[in-house]
Amino acid sequence: MLDIVRILRPRAVLFAGVDASGEWALGFRERNDLLFCWVEQGQCLVIRPDHQSLLLRQGDFLLIRASTPFRLASSSSAIAVDSESAVTSSKSKRLRLGSGDDRQTTLHAGKFIVSTANHDLLEELLPQTVGVSASDPSVGRIRALLAMNEAEARSPGPASEFVIIRLVELILVEILRSGFAGINAEKKGLLAGLADRYTERAIAAMHRDVARNWTVAELAKLCGVSRAGFATRFRRVFGVGPIEYLLRWRIALAKDELQNGTKTVAQIAFSVGFGSSSAFSSAFTRTVGCSPTQFARACGTEATETLQSDRTLVRK
């Protein structure tokens, strides 16, 4: 799981607190951002189109992908204030919503900013919402890590950048570990695969040795099941076969390296398991829609492309 979180290169930003009372609502636009909030006092509803409302009680934590608009509200009938306009116009880091002294609610909200290179991994890794109940022991750890991240950002010391990166990685890992509790046999995707004891073994093996020419039979043997049973189970959980998943993971690692801009295309091709830079370039273009060099330039870096179709990289 940690290797997946690391190539997302997350950063956490606490952007607002909310003090609300009476009737109130705060609307969030469709941005595909990864937002989070926790309820310090009171309670509120999370309202999304075509979904049943979620009730957040005191101490609860929510991670939500804004892939559709949503509202935090005192009730389903409350009229929403646009969150972006409210934050922009506010002279304080805390928003004050509603009126009166009844039904007082205090929220803390922020967002995770992840690498643009592999932003699409979020859709594969996370459902739209991951809720962590106040009774879950990880809630205290998540809040403590967020507080440490905010304190380090405000008053940086030696090696602050390293500390902040590791803190945010730990925050996401805690959230994902908590999300396992909501996984059932009908769920699909990367989080479901990591929660499945059979497919998780295969994922861990492919991630440990991404350059190996894995076969379905080898992975099935590693998991202690038949080849046919493993292939069926993997596809049911992930929606793709194990070898297609391996290709996607190789491309994700390559995108991360291209964004870093410290290796040539040939070096990247070798490191993620391709026998030649031309084979890598073809697979990358087919999957991403542009060549590795074009992708690197779009990320603001330059990857030196040495495409020699008649030369293969020697593999050990």
Q: Is residue 294 part of a domain?
A: yes
Q: Is residue 249 part of a domain?
A: no
CATH number of residue 143's parent domain? 2.60.120.280
d(CA 268, CA 266): 5
Question: Do 11 and 146 belong to one domain?
Answer: yes
pLDDT tens for 187-207 read 667 777 887 888 889 999 999
Q: Are 130 and 182 in contact (CB under 8 A)?
A: yes
Q: Are 18 and 109 in contact (CB under 8 A)?
A: yes
Q: Is residue 102 part of a domain?
A: yes
Please, what is the Cα angle at 252 between 273 and 34, to 5 degrees?
A: 160
Q: Which residue has the higher pLDDT, 87 or 53?
A: 53
Question: Do 105 and 133 belong to one domain?
Answer: yes
What is the tally of structural domains in the chain? 3
Angle of the 197-208 helix axis to the 227-238 helix axis, nearest 10? 90
Least confident of 3-12, 44-53, 176-185, 194-203: 176-185
Using DSSP, state whether 218 is helix, strand or coil.
helix
Q: Is residue 305 part of a domain?
A: no
DSSP structure string for 7-67 = HH--EEEEEEEEEEESS-EEEE-S---EEEEEEEES-EEEE-TTSPPEEEPTT-EEEEE-S
Question: Do 177 and 196 belong to one domain?
Answer: no
Note down the domain range covering 105.
Answer: 2-181
> pLDDT category, 311, cuts 50, 70, 90?
very low
Of 37, 100, 50, 46, whose CA–CA distance to 73 is shortest? 46
Question: Do 110 and 258 belong to one domain?
Answer: no
Q: What is the pLDDT of residue 100?
A: 74
Residues 48-69: what's their mean pLDDT?
90
Question: Do 161 and 26 belong to one domain?
Answer: yes
Backbone angles phi and psi of 34, in degrees to 5: -105, 100
> pLDDT category, 294, cuts 50, 70, 90?
very high
Question: Do 101 and 220 belong to one domain?
Answer: no
What does pTM read for this prediction?
0.73
Question: Do 100 and 6 belong to one domain?
Answer: yes
- Is the per-residue pLDDT at 43 higher than 90? yes
Q: Is residue 244 part of a domain?
A: no
Q: Is residue 307 part of a domain?
A: no
Question: Do 25 and 174 belong to one domain?
Answer: yes
Q: What is the pLDDT of residue 11?
A: 77
Q: What is the pLDDT of residue 144?
A: 87
> pLDDT category, 303, cuts 50, 70, 90?
very low
Q: Is residue 310 part of a domain?
A: no
pLDDT tens for 225-255 read 999 999 999 998 888 899 999 999 999 999 9
Question: Do 33 and 158 belong to one domain?
Answer: yes
d(CA 65, CA 251): 23
Question: Do 86 and 55 belong to one domain?
Answer: yes
Q: Is residue 266 part of a domain?
A: yes
Question: Do 99 and 52 belong to one domain?
Answer: yes
- Is the per-residue pLDDT at 130 higher than 60? yes
Q: What is the pLDDT of residue 286?
A: 94
Q: Which residue has the higher pLDDT, 99 or 181?
A: 99
Whole-number average pLDDT of the chain = 84
